[in-house]
Amino acid sequence: MKDSEIVQVKCDACGCMITPELHETQSGEFEITFFVCPFCHKDYVISVTDAELRERIAECHALKEANDREQLSAEEKQRMVELLVMNRQRSKQLCEMYAPKGN
48-96 per-position pLDDT tens digit? 999 999 999 999 999 999 988 888 899 999 999 999 999 999 999 998 8
Share of residues in the chain with pLDDT > 70 (%): 91
Secondary structure (3-state) at 4: coil
Burial of 37 (0-12, 13-18, 19+ CB in 10 A): buried
Give the β-pairing of 17-18 and 23-27: unpaired
Write down the pTM of the prediction.
0.73
Q: What is the pLDDT at residue 1?
A: 47
